[in-house]
A and B are shown apart, each in its own frame.
Chain A
Amino acid sequence: MKPNTINPEVLQRVELLQMDYANRIDDERYEEWPALFTEQGTYKVISRDNHRKGMPFGFIYCDNRRMLRDRILSMRRANIFEPHTYRHLLSRTSLSCGENGEFLARTSYMVARIMQDGAQELFSTGTYVDRIVEENGELLFKEKLVITDSSCIDVLLVIPL
Chain B
Amino acid sequence: MPEAIKEPAQIKWPTDDASRIPFSVFTDPDLYDREQKTLFRGPTWNFVAMDIEIPKTGDYKTTFIGDTPVIVVRDEEGHINCFVNRCAHRGATLAYDQCGNKKDFTCVYHNWRYDLGGKLKSVAFQFGVNKVGGMPKDFKICDHNLTKARVEVYHGLVFATFLEETPPLETYLGERMSKHIARVFNRPVKILGFYSQTLHSNWKLYMENVKDSYHASLLHTFFSTFKLNRLTMEGGVQVEGDGGHHLSWSKRGTDSAAGSEYEKAGELRAQSSDFSLDDPSLIKSWLEYEDGITHAIQSIFPTFVLQQIQNSLAIRLLIPRSVNKSELYWIIFGYEDDTPEQYDMRLRQSNLIGPAGLVSLEDGMIGNFIQRGIRRETDQSAVIEMGGRAVEDQQSRVSEAAIRGFWQSYRNRMAI
> Taking the complex as formed, is B355 at the interface, i.e. its CB lies under 8 A from any CB of chain A?
yes
Say how far A130's CB is from chain B's closest CB, in angstroms: 20
- Check A58/B364 contact, CB under 8 A, given A155-B198, A155-B200, A155-B355: no
Contact with A along B351-372 (1 / 0, CB 8 A): 1001110100110110010000
Residues of A within 8 Å of B279, CB to CB, are 64, 66-67, 70
* Interface set of A (CB-CB < 8 Å, partner B): 45-47, 49-50, 55-62, 64, 66-67, 69-71, 73-74, 77-82, 151-158
**Pairwise interchain contact B347-A60, C-beta atoms closer than 8 A:** no
**Pairwise interchain contact A47-B225, C-beta atoms closer than 8 A:** no
> Taking the complex as formed, is B108 at the interface, i.e. its CB lies under 8 A from any CB of chain A?
no
Of the listed stretches B188-196, B249-257, B288-296, chain A binds B188-196
Interface size class of B (residues with CB under 8 A): 35 or more
Residues of B within 8 Å of A46, CB to CB, are 193
Of the listed stretches B23-31, B138-146, B166-174, B270-278, chain A binds B270-278
Say how far A138's CB is from chain B's closest CB, in angstroms: 21
Most B Cβ at <10 Å: residue of A47, A156, A158: A156
**Pairwise interchain contact A47-B195, C-beta atoms closer than 8 A:** yes
Candidates B195, B327, B348, B355; contact of A156 at CB < 8 Å:
B355
Say how far A69's CB is from chain B's closest CB, in angstroms: 5
Say how far B32's CB is from chain A's closest CB, in angstroms: 21
Residues of B within 8 Å of A50, CB to CB, are 193-195
> Taking the complex as formed, is B382 at the interface, i.e. its CB lies under 8 A from any CB of chain A?
no
Alpha-carbon separation in the docked complex, A55 to B351 (Å): 15
Contact with A along B60-85 (1 / 0, CB 8 A): 00000000000000000000000000
Residues of B within 8 Å of A158, CB to CB, are 356, 361
Q: Which residue of A lies closest to B279 (CB)?
A: A66
Candidates A60, A73, A77, A154; contact of B356 at CB < 8 Å:
A60
- Check A154/B275 contact, CB under 8 A, given A78-B221, A81-B365, A82-B365: no
Residues of A within 8 Å of B351, CB to CB, are 60-62, 67, 71
Say how far A58's CB is from chain B's closest CB, in angstroms: 6
Known: A59-B356, A66-B278. 10 other contacts (CB 8 A): A67-B278, A67-B281, A70-B282, A77-B225, A78-B221, A78-B358, A79-B361, A153-B356, A156-B356, A157-B355
**Pairwise interchain contact B192-A57, C-beta atoms closer than 8 A:** yes
Alpha-carbon separation in the docked complex, A55 to B52 (Å): 15
Residues of A within 8 Å of B199, CB to CB, are 155
Say how far B343's CB is from chain A's closest CB, in angstroms: 9
- Check A78/B365 contact, CB under 8 A, given A55-B192, A60-B351: no
> Taking the complex as formed, is B408 at the interface, i.e. its CB lies under 8 A from any CB of chain A?
no
**Pairwise interchain contact B362-A79, C-beta atoms closer than 8 A:** yes
Most A Cβ at <10 Å: residue of B277, B351, B354, B361: B361
**Pairwise interchain contact B347-A57, C-beta atoms closer than 8 A:** yes
**Pairwise interchain contact B274-A153, C-beta atoms closer than 8 A:** no
Residues of B within 8 Å of A155, CB to CB, are 197-200, 355, 364-365, 368
Say how far B279's CB is from chain A's closest CB, in angstroms: 4
